[in-house]
């Protein structure tokens, strides 16, 4: 620990803050320079598409740390400042305003940014939702009771559509794939998600892309690939995110849809680790290179990355936590654990697709690899543990069948 006189954390949200907390909790008493592109102290992102957008919570209610606890970390703050480049030879982070920050250890936690829709114009009324200022700008527009079109039926798009319907707005949800979440979930579960939105009054258009977003002084509507025109006062683009690695392109670090790390979250550069949405690492449990864009992963990786930085290569431990994801849509809570793909074998227990309350289990090889629950959170906890323990598929099925039989 003695040689790490200065640790820089670049990334001012969840993974960055939890990294700083982990460093202090693990006994690091040196200087921590904390760089965040946004001017706000770290805040929680999941409520942005739900409670904050709905007007049920305010920005001060989603802070990730109470002011006194944040101050107790004694961080050398650079909020509202963007990292522009990284010099590994001289171990310097260069900020966009030209300031150079020397470091002995570096935690990269720059997260991700919302993807833009190719060819979309720059017009008032067109929004993405990733940051607090995005949410507040969109919320102000929703107060005028606009007609809303959401492009993209992944988790963010689906949550925004649900929140807008909860406000009583006219909502159309457009998805180029055949069903919501079709790139991540089997068709049967995507169909459940589609039914939930249609029952709530959303005009769901699947299997069709957007040809044009049009308007004069502000957005007026969208034209779909099938020729249909949908009037809109507000358009929200929710087609996923891209990791924030642009500032690292000249650094020499390996980049591949994220910062490439080993199983312990370390990059090939000594004393440089990554955590959160920006980190791509080799997951030993699934034996694959992966990047996970969700809250629980950011928290767990932040602690692991801090531990790796302090321990050095000799004390490295693989990061093998089972990914956990959730999404709230109307009265349904979708939760998943592990890794699975649309074409993996699936079995449904503890309910049914028809009642929209169930657990779906997924198989890869001879193991339980993933589980997805709809309003069955208690059962999912057990399956997440089973995935971590590498429980055989046949044993997982036997336990699920026994539980359903009341045994």
pLDDT tens readout for residues 325-369? 999 999 999 999 999 989 999 999 999 999 999 999 999 999 999
User: Which pLDDT score is estimated for 3?
Assistant: 84
pTM here?
Answer: 0.95
Overall CATH class of domain 6-113+242-315:
alpha beta
Lowest mean pLDDT among 69-73, 74-78, 118-122: 118-122
What is the overall mean pLDDT for the chain?
96
Q: By CB neighbour count within 10 A (0-12 exposed, 13-18 middle, 19+ buried), where does 58 fall? A: exposed
CATH 3.40.50.300 holds for 116-239: no
CA–CA distance, 388 with 207 (Å, rounded to integer) = 36
CATH 3.30.390.30 fits 331-405, yes or no: yes
Cβ atoms 220, 231 nearer than 8 A? yes
**In the prediction, which pLDDT does 2 show?**
41
pLDDT of residue 182 exceeding 50: yes
- Once rounded to an integer, what is the mean pLDDT over residues 36-42? 97
Specify the domain boundaries for CATH 3.50.50.60 within the chain. 6-113+242-315, 116-239
CA distance 50 to 34: 28
For residues 346 and 343, what is the distance between their CA atoms, to the nearest angstrom?
Answer: 9
Quick: pLDDT tens for 95-133.
Answer: 999 999 999 999 999 999 999 999 999 999 999 999 999
Q: What is the pLDDT of residue 96?
A: 97
Percent of the chain with pLDDT over 70: 99
Judge whether 15 and 109 are in contact, CB under 8 Å. Answer: yes
Strands, sheet with 126-128, edge to edge from the N-terminal-most edge strand:
126-128, 234-237, 147-151, 170-175, 203-206
* pLDDT (tens digit per residue) in 159-179: 999 999 999 999 999 999 999
C-alpha distance from residue 17 to each of 23, 44, 142, 307, 365 (Å):
10, 11, 31, 14, 38
pLDDT of residue 154: 93
Q: How far apart are CA 64 and CA 10, in angstroms?
A: 17
**Where does the chain hold its CATH 3.30.390.30 domain(s)?**
331-405
């Amino acid at each position: 620990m003695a040689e790490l006189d200065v640790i820089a954390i670049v990334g001012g949200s969840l993974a960055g803050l939890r990294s700083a907390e982990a460093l202090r909790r693990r006994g690091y008493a040196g200087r921590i320079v904390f760089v965040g592109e946004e001017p706000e102290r770290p805040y929680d992102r999941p409520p942005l598409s739900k409670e904050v957008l709905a007007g049920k919570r305010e920005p001060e209610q989603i802070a990730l740390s109470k002011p006194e606890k944040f101050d107790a970390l004694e961080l050398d703050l650079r909020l509202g400042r963007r990292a522009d480049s990284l010099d590994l030879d001289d171990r310097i982070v260069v900020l966009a305003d030209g300031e150079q920050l020397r470091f002995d250890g570096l935690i990269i936690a720059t997260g991700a940014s919302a993807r833009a829709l190719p060819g979309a114009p720059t017009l008032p009324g067109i929004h993405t939702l990733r940051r607090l200022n995005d949410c507040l700008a969109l919320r102000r527009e929703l107060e005028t009771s606009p007609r809303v079109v959401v492009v993209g039926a992944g988790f963010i798009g689906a949550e925004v559509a649900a929140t807008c319907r909860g406000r009583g707005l006219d909502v159309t949800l457009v998805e180029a794939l055949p069903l919501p979440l079709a790139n991540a979930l089997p068709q049967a579960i995507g169909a459940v998600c589609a039914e939930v939105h249609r029952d709530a009054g959303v005009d769901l258009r699947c299997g069709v892309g957007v040809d044009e977003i049009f308007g004069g002084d502000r957005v007026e509507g969208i034209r779909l690939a099938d020729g249909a025109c949908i009037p809109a006062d507000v358009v929200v683009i929710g087609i996923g995110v891209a990791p924030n690695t642009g500032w690292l392109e000249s650094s020499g670090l390996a980049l591949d849809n994220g910062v490439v790390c080993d199983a312990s979250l370390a990059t090939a550069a000594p004393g440089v680790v990554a955590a959160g949405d920006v980190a791509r690492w080799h997951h030993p449990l699934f034996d694959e290179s992966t990047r996970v864009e969700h809250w629980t992963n950011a928290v767990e990786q932040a602690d692991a990355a801090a531990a790796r930085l302090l321990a050095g290569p000799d004390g490295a431990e693989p990061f093998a936590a089972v990914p956990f994801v959730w999404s709230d849509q109307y009265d349904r809570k979708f939760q998943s654990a592990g890794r699975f793909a649309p074409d993996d074998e699936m079995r449904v227990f503890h309910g049914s697709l028809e009642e929209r309350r169930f657990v779906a289990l997924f198989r890869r090889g001879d193991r339980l690899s993933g589980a997805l629950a709809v309003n069955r959170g208690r059962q999912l906890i057990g399956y997440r543990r089973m995935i971590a323990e590498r429980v055989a598929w046949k044993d997982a099925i036997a336990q699920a069948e026994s539980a359903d039989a009341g045994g």
